[in-house]
Structure 1
Amino acid sequence: MSFHALYVCRLANELNQLLQGATLLQVYSAEKNHLFIHFKGADKRNISLAFRVEGDAMYLYFPEEDQPKSRNALDQFKPAWNTGVKGVHSHPGERSFHLDLGQSSLVFLCYGRHANVLLQRGEETQSFRTKSTSKSDFSGNRLKELAGASWPQNAETFLNASFVTPHLKKNFSATAGSEAAFSKLLAAYLEGPVYLNKEADQYSFDAVKGQELLSSYTTLSAALNPFTELQLALHFFTQRKADLLRELNNEVNSCEKRLKALEKQRIQLNSEKNYRHLGDLILSHLPSIKEGMAFIDLTDYLDGKVIRIPLKEKLTPQDNAQRFYRKAKNQHLQEARLNEEVAQLEKRYIEASEKLDAVRSATDMRALRIHIKDKKKQPEQSVRLPYHRFNFMDFDILVGKQAKDNDELTLKIAKKDDLWLHARDVGGSHVVVRKKGTLSFPEPVLMAAAGLALWFSKRRNEALAPVIYTEKKFVRKRKGDAAGAVVVEKEKVVMAAPLSPDQF
C-alpha cells in the first residue's frame, strides 16, 4: 500500500507549497468515485487535483490537462467554491489531511476503498462518497489537534503505532536500537527520493528501491501521475481478465452440464426397445394376433427369447405395426438430432477451453482484446419483462411467464419470422426463438426450444412428448379468445425431451 501515513503527510506538505495563495474554483464528480478539484494558483496558473477510488485502492493525481466538465457532471461542495486556500495541513500518524479554506475545510481521508473527501463547515459535514461517510469528528478543534500531532521519535514507539503498515514495519524494523538509522529512514520517507517500483502483482512508490526499479523522483507529487497510470491500467487489466475467466468458465461448465444431460438422453434412447424390430415381429406373426388384444408374447427370431409386446386394443395388427414404425422413425430422428447437438456442443466446449487457457496466460490487455466480444450494452429494464430469456448457440429463446404474458410475447414482441413453439394439446408457455438475419434455425436450437416448451407446460414430467412449431406469422388470436389462446396454422410437430432451465 503506497498511501500510508508517511506519504499522506508528505503529500499534504507538498500541496501546501503548491497551493499557497491559490483559490479553489470548483469541485465536481465525473463518475461515482471520481472527483475533480480545480484551483487558480497565485501565479494565475490552473491547478487540478483528482481523487479516485477503484477496487480496493485510492488514487490522488494531477490531471495533465484541464478536464472538460461533462454535461452529466455533478457539482460538489459548492459552498467552498471561490474561496482562498489558507494552507494544507498534514495529520501526522493518520492517513488524512485537510485544506484550510477559512470558513470551511476540505478533508481528505486516504483509506483505500473507504477513502473519501469531506467538506467540514462548523459542525456540518458534507460527504462526497456517502457510503463511506466517516463517523469521526472533523470539527475545527479536532482538525487543529490532528495537524498539531508529531511523529514518534524512536523506532520502538514507531513500530508499535497503529498507523504502521506491514510494509513500513518491515523497513523500520532494521532501525530498531539505532536512533540515527531511524531518523534517517523517517527523513527519507518525508523528504527523500521517491522510487517507483514494480512488484509481483502491482506497482508501488517507496523510499526504498524495490526488486524492479522503474524510475525515481525528487518529490512524491511527481510520482503520482506515472504510478496512477500504471496501476490503473493493471487494475483494469486484472478486472477484465477476471471477468473473461468467469464468462469462459461459465461457458465451459454450461457445455459440460448440457453434454452430461445429452449423454443421459443417449443412454435412455439406447435402452429403449427397437421399435422397428417390434413392428417386424408383429407383421411376421399376423395370424396369431387378433384385434382387441392388449399384448402378445412372441418369440424373437434373433435370439429365441420371448418378448411381450404391448398392443392398442382398438387397432388392427397392421395398425399396431405401423404405430411401432412411426415410433422407430421418431427414435431415429431423435438420435440424429442428439448427435448433431452433441457435435455442436463439443465444438463450443473445445473453443471455450482453448480461450480459457489463452486468457489464463495473458499478461497484458493486448493479449485479452482478441477474446473480448463486442457486446452492445442492454438498457436496464425498470419494468417487469413478460418472458424468461435464455440463450443457446447465440440464439435468444423467450418463454412466456403467464397467460397474459404469452399474448404480449406472441402478439407484441415476437417478429413475423421468429420461430414459435408450444407443447402440443396441453396448457403451457409460448416459446419464441429470435430470428438471426437470414440464418435458418439449427436443429439443436429447435430441440432446445422444444425442450423448454415442454418444461414450461403440463408435459414437464414426460420422457418424450410432441411440440408444435411454426413461424410466428402463422399464429393469430381471435376476438374473444381467453388469455394465451391462439390459432396456429401450418404447424409442424417434433418429439423432444423436457429441458430444465438449469441446463442453459
Structure 2
Amino acid sequence: MENHVNNYFTLHRVVDFLNNYLQDFYVAESFSSSKCEVQIVFRQRGIHKAVKFYLGEESFVFFPEKFFTPKKSQPLFQQLINKQFLEAKIHPHDRSFRIQFSDNFTLVVLLYGRNANLILYQGKSIETVYNPNIKTNLDKPFSYYKNLENVSENEFVRSVAELGLKKAVLVHFSAFTKGMLKYFEVEKLAEKQFVNLQEWERSLLESDFHIYTSEKMLEGKQVVFSLLQEDETESFSGDDIYAALHEYARLYFRILQFNTQKKNLLQNIKSKIERTEAQLKSYYFHLEQLEIEKNYKHQADLLMANLHNIPRGLDKIELTDFDGEKKITIKLKREISVQEWAEKLYQKAKKQQIERTQTEMHIATIEKMLPELKEQLLQVEASNDSQSLRNHLPQQTTKSTEKKQQEAVPYKKFEIEGFNVLVGKNGADNDKLTFGIAKKDDTWLHAKDVSGSHVVIQNPSRKELPKSLLEKAAQLAAYYSKGKGSDLYPVIFTLKKFVRKPKGAAAGKVLVDKEKVLLVEPRLV
C-alpha cells in the first residue's frame, strides 16, 4: 500500500488550506526542536498558529493543535521573523511547494522523503538551507520553480507517439503513482487519454483522505495516508486536510516511538545475551584451569607426612605418593621451613576451593539467567503494541532526577537476586545507613580490619539469604574498602542487631558481635 502523505495531490490541498489558514498572519517564531523537525509559528492579533515540517525517514507537513517553544530549540530562518505570509503555491506534479512572504522572501518546501529539505530565498538568492548536506535542487535557480507548468494536450499527444502511453504518463503526469495508475486501470485507456487523466487528477484533488494502520504495518514501521480507498480497516476517513494530517502525525509519531523503543530494546537484550554467553564461556574456562592446576592440599599433605625426612634449603623435592608407586615433584622455598611452606600450600588450597565454589555459583546463576533473557527476546520480538512492550522497558529516570535521588540518600543501591543491597557512601553516611535505615534482621557486612563502606542487605521478610547473594554483597563490601586491591579479601557479616556504636566513636566506627567471615574477590556486581 502506497503512502500519499507528500504526494502532489495531497500537497495541492495543503497549499489551498494554507492560503486560507494563514491569511494576514505574520511569522512570530521559527525554530527546530529536534533533528528532523522545523516549526514556524504565525501570529495575528493574539492568535497563534503553527506549521510543522517533519523531514525524517518520511517527510510531511502538519498543523499541531498545541505547540510551545522548547528550551533547547535551535532558531532557524530568522530572516522571516515579522514577515507577512502572502501566498503558498504548488509546483505542478512535484512533491514540493513554496510559501511567499513579504520583503521578497520565499520558502521552498521539498518533501522528497529522506532527501527532504527547506530552502529560503530572498529574491533569486539562497539565504538559508535547513540541511546543506542534502544537495537535491540546490543547484537549480529559483526560476526553476516558477517555470514548472502543467503539460498541454499537444505536448502529451506527441510524447505518447514517441514514448508510448505509460512512459508519457510518467513523464508528464509524474504525480500519478504506480498504485494510482493501477487503481484507475491506465492500461485500458484508449481514446480521450489526456481528458481522462485530467479527470483522474480532479478526482484525486477532491477525494477523501484515508489513514490505515494494522499489525502488519506496525511491524513494517508504517502508517499509511492514502488518497485511494482500500480494503483495509480505516483509522480515519474524511476530506478535512487539517484533521487528516493531524491524525496521521499522531499515529506516525506513536508508531515511530514504538519501533524505536522496540529496536533499542532488542539490541540491548541481544547485547546482554552475547555478554552473558561470553561470561559463561569464561567461567567454564576458568573452572577447567582450576581443575588442571596443581592440587595444593595434596602436596601439603605429602610434605607434612614426610616433614622429618626433608632437609631445609632445597628448591624442590621428589616424594612417593600415598599409593606407594607414583613420584611427585614439589617445589619448595629455600628461605622458609618445609612446615611453613606446607601451611602456605594449605592457604592456597583453601583459596582455590573458594574460587572454585564461587565460579560454580556464577555458572549456575548465568545458566539460569540465559533462558530468561532468550525468552524475553522472543516476547519483545512478538510485541506489536506499546502496552506489551512497556513490560520489558527499563524504568526511565532523567539525569537530574537520578542525581537528586543519589544526593538525597546516604547509600548506593544495588538490586541483587531480588534483594536491595545498600552501600554507605562515607563515614557519616555509614552511620545513617546502619543505625537509621537498616532494620535489626537485615544482614550487615564490612571488609575485615580496614576502613570501608557499611553494606546492608535489606530482608524485611526475614528470608534465608542465598549464599550467592551473600558472596556478591561481600564482594561489594570488599570493593568499597581499603582491601579493594587484593586478589581475595575477608569480609565479616552478621545481623544488624549485633552491630553497635560505642559512645564517642568516630563516624563509621562500630563494634560487631557474632560475625562470620567470607573470603571473596573485591569487585562490582
TM-score under structure 2 length normalisation = 0.68
What does residue 207 of structure 1 align with?
227
Instruction: Label 1:53 to 1:141 Cα distance change in 2 as closer, same or farther (>3 A).
Output: closer
The AA in structure 2 aligned to 1:284 is A
Asked if structure 2 preserves the Cα contact closer than 8 Å seen for 1:27 and 1:35, the reply is: no
Report the Cα distance in structure 1 between the residues aligned to 2:7 and 2:59, rounded to whole angstroms: 13
Asked if structure 2 preserves the Cα contact closer than 8 Å seen for 1:35 and 1:52, the reply is: yes
Whether 1:90 aligns to 2:90 is: yes
Whether 1:443 aligns to 2:458 is: no
The correspondence of residues 259-278 of structure 1 with structure 2, limited to 5 A, is 259-278=280-299
Report the Cα distance in structure 2 between the residues aligned to 1:285 and 1:496, rounded to whole angstroms: 34
The AA in structure 1 aligned to 2:204 is Y
Q: What is the deviation of 1:177? A: 4.6
Percent identity, aligned pairs only, is 21
Q: What is the deviation of 1:219? A: 4.4
What does residue 27 of structure 1 align with?
29
Report the Cα distance in structure 2 between the residues aligned to 1:17 and 1:34, rounded to whole angstroms: 22
**Cα RMSD after superposing both structures:** 4.2
Whether 1:355 aligns to 2:376 is: yes
Which of 259, 279, 282 is 2:303 aligned to? 282
Report the Cα distance in structure 1 between the residues aligned to 2:282 and 2:176, rounded to whole angstroms: 52
The correspondence of residues 109-124 of structure 1 with structure 2, limited to 5 A, is 109-122=110-123, 123-124=125-126
2:12 match: secondary structure: helix
Deviations 1:421-462 (A, max 9, x none): xxxxxxxxxxxxx979745996357769999xxxx99xxxxx
Report the Cα distance in structure 2 between the residues aligned to 1:337 and 1:392, rounded to whole angstroms: 23
Report the Cα distance in structure 1 between the residues aligned to 2:471 and 2:376, rounded to whole angstroms: 26
Report the Cα distance in structure 1 between the residues aligned to 2:46 and 2:226, rounded to whole angstroms: 33
Report the Cα distance in structure 2 between the residues aligned to 1:324 and 1:226, rounded to whole angstroms: 76
What does residue 321 of structure 1 align with?
342
How many residues get paired?
423
Instruction: Label 1:162 to 1:17 Cα distance change in 2 as closer, same or farther (>3 A).
Output: closer
Asked if structure 1 preserves the Cα contact closer than 8 Å seen for 2:457 and 2:473, the reply is: no
What does residue 247 of structure 1 align with?
268
The AA in structure 2 aligned to 1:36 is Q
Which of 168, 184, 189 is 2:204 aligned to? 189
Report the Cα distance in structure 2 between the residues aligned to 1:161 and 1:281, rounded to whole angstroms: 98
Report the Cα distance in structure 2 between the residues aligned to 1:161 and 1:437, rounded to whole angstroms: 77
1:212 match: secondary structure: coil
Deviations 1:21-79 (A, max 9, x none): 332332322513332223457x996543221234x1223111124x2334444443343
Q: What is the deviation of 1:355? A: 2.4
Deviates more, 1:182-191 or 1:110-119: 182-191
Report the Cα distance in structure 2 between the residues aligned to 1:495 and 1:470, rounded to whole angstroms: 7
Instruction: Label 1:162 to 1:127 Cα distance change in 2 as closer, same or farther (>3 A).
Output: farther
Q: What is the deviation of 1:106? A: 1.8
Whether 1:68 aligns to 2:68 is: yes
Report the Cα distance in structure 2 between the residues aligned to 1:10 and 1:107, rounded to whole angstroms: 14
Mind listing any 5+ residue stretches in structure 2 that lack a counterpart? 157-164, 401-411, 417-424, 431-451, 459-468, 493-516
Instruction: Label 1:139 to 1:417 Cα distance change in 2 as closer, same or farther (>3 A).
Output: farther
Asked if structure 1 preserves the Cα contact closer than 8 Å seen for 2:119 and 2:130, the reply is: yes
Asked if structure 2 preserves the Cα contact closer than 8 Å seen for 1:19 and 1:87, the reply is: no
Report the Cα distance in structure 1 between the residues aligned to 2:176 and 2:273, rounded to whole angstroms: 41
Q: What is the deviation of 1:245? A: 0.9
What does residue 234 of structure 1 align with?
255
1:191 match: secondary structure: coil
TM-score under structure 1 length normalisation = 0.71
Which of 14, 20, 26 is 2:16 aligned to? 14
Instruction: Label 1:435 to 1:320 Cα distance change in 2 as closer, same or farther (>3 A).
Output: closer
Q: What is the deviation of 1:139? A: 5.3
Mind listing any 5+ residue stretches in structure 1 that lack a counterpart? 380-390, 396-413, 420-433, 458-464, 472-491
Instruction: Label 1:38 to 1:321 Cα distance change in 2 as closer, same or farther (>3 A).
Output: closer
Deviations 1:197-253 (A, max 9, x none): 236322112222234231322244432111111111111100001111111111111
The AA in structure 2 aligned to 1:325 is Y
Deviates more, 1:361-370 or 1:344-353: 344-353
Q: What is the deviation of 1:270? A: 1.2
Instruction: Label 1:80 to 1:394 Cα distance change in 2 as closer, same or farther (>3 A).
Output: same
